[in-house]
């Protein structure tokens, strides 16, 4: 438990205000903060699309396995800019969680970071997530048949839901997509930073400083980037992890918001063996693949991984939550090592009911003042570290 002094930020009410103001793809100036939001176009050049499967009918289970999903190839991403800023030399790259389809949860997070750090905040979508997935993946009418079939095949598993059925079906049938989507995201971020560092981005000056705020599975992607440091882009960058940073085999992804039990069990088994390497074998000497491998179990390249994290310890900070069962604190210790984690990661608990997927709940049954203070505790820490 922790104790805070009240300040002016009212997260719970601001959450609703931002939902009413934000329009994806539109330029917006947020009231009461002066923060503006712009959307930039991006085209992915990475080639890690889904397996080719032709749907037998509109109701067929294969309809979301189509190859070369166009939304995943060409998309937009939002950038939050401080008031009166048209171009800047500092940014925070924000990486989100698994199986998310909209930016609603992150609007307050990005605005707070932007307003209090004075830095731009880039919300970059992971491959096949957010607006990089077809709208049909969230359409209950189209998903009903899939849900019923899967429910029958899994014995009416209570962890199955409309929210997680697409990811559950995709990963249980093709668990290699977890790595492929992550690898495409990794390559896309490198391409984005190439554009920024070269001075070719409309919102950033050449060689702009890029730090990272990573939540949930986004932290695994960020850790891979920091372990490999492609083109030395992250040599001076800082990484703040919230509810993230665990070794893979300590994660518990079964959730009605993420994936069902069958899917997680399949995924877990697949990456504890050599199957994923046999399914996708990139060129030898691939540092991204090696870093991902080292994050799968505590013993994979343990000495090298922990040594690298210890060298990075002055540029890493994290906050884990005691009630987080999806990304447990013990898994973070296993990933970073005891020395690095004790220096960099803080374990907190909130005085209200929360989950990994919803750390700052906004509803009538929650003490909104306690949620506001908890939000400030986490994001003031992030602002202090990333500024």
Q: Among 46-60, 189-203, 298-312, whose mean pLDDT is lowest?
A: 46-60
**Residue 2 — pLDDT band, cuts 50, 70, 90?**
very low
Q: Above 90 in pLDDT, residue 200?
A: yes
pLDDT bracket for residue 224 (50, 70, 90)? very high
pLDDT of residue 67: 54
Pick from 213, 287, 210, 290: which is nearest to 244 by CA? 213
Average confidence (pLDDT) over 365-371: 92
Please name which of 111, 106, 103, 109 lies closest in space to residue 37, comparing C-alpha atoms: 111
Answer with the residue of higher pLDDT: 122 or 9. Answer: 122
The one-character DSSP state at 93 is: E
pLDDT digits (tens, 9 = 90+) for 43-54: 998 765 555 455
* Mean pLDDT across 319-328: 97
Tell me how far apart the alpha carbons of residues 224 and 183 are, in angstroms, rounded to a whole number: 10
pLDDT of residue 280: 58
Least confident of 123-127, 167-171, 245-249, 313-317: 167-171
Per the prediction, the chain carries an average pLDDT of: 90
Q: What's the confidence (pLDDT) of residue 48?
A: 57
pLDDT at 59 over 60: no
Q: 3-state DSSP call for residue 4? A: coil
Residues 49-76 have a mean pLDDT of 63
pLDDT at 4: 39
Residue 61 has pLDDT above 60, yes or no: no
Return the pLDDT at 154.
84
pLDDT given at position 60: 47
Where do we find the tokens 């176009």?
41
Q: Which residues pair with 37 in a beta bridge?
A: 28, 80
What the chain holds in terms of domains, given with CATH numbers, is 11-386 (3.40.50.1820)
- With a pLDDT cut of 70, the percent of the chain lying above it is 90
């Amino acid at each position: 438990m922790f104790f805070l002094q009240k300040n002016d930020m009212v997260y719970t009410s601001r959450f609703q205000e931002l939902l009413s103001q934000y329009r994806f793809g539109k330029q917006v100036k947020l009231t009461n903060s002066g923060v503006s939001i712009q959307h930039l176009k991006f085209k992915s050049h990475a080639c890690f699309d889904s397996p080719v499967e032709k749907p037998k009918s509109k109701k067929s289970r294969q309809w979301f396995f189509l190859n070369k999903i166009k939304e995943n190839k060409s998309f937009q991403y939002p950038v939050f800019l401080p008031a009166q800023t048209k171009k800047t030399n500092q940014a925070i790259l924000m990486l989100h969680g698994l199986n998310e389809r909209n930016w609603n949860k992150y609007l307050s997070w990005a605005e707070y970071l932007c307003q209090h750090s004075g830095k731009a905040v880039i919300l970059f979508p992971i491959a096949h997530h957010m607006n990089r997935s077809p709208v049909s993946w969230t359409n209950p009418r189209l998903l009903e048949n899939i849900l019923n079939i899967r429910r029958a095949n899994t014995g009416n598993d209570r962890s199955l839901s409309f929210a997680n059925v697409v990811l559950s079906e995709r990963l249980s049938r093709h668990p290699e997509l977890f790595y492929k989507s992550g690898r495409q995201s990794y390559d896309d971020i490198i391409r984005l930073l190439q554009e920024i560092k070269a001075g070719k981005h409309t919102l950033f000056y050449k060689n702009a400083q890029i730090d990272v705020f990573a939540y949930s599975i986004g932290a695994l992607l960020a850790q891979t980037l920091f372990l490999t440091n492609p083109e030395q882009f992250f040599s001076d960058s800082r990484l703040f992890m919230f509810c993230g940073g665990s070794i893979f085999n300590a994660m518990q992804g079964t959730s009605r918001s993420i994936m069902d039990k069958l899917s997680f069990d399949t995924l877990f088994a697949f990456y504890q063996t050599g199957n994923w390497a046999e399914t996708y074998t990139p060129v030898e000497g691939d540092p991204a693949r090696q870093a991902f491998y080292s994050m799968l179990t505590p013993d994979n390249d343990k000495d090298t991984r922990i040594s690298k994290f210890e060298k990075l310890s002055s540029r890493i900070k994290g906050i884990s939550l005691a009630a987080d069962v999806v990304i447990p604190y013990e898994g973070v210790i296993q990933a970073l090592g005891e020395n690095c984690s004790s220096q960099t990661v803080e374990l907190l608990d909130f005085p209200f009911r929360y989950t990994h997927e919803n750390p700052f709940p906004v509803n009538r049954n929650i003490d909104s003042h306690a949620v506001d203070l908890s939000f400030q505790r986490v994001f003031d820490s992030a602002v202090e570290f990333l500024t």
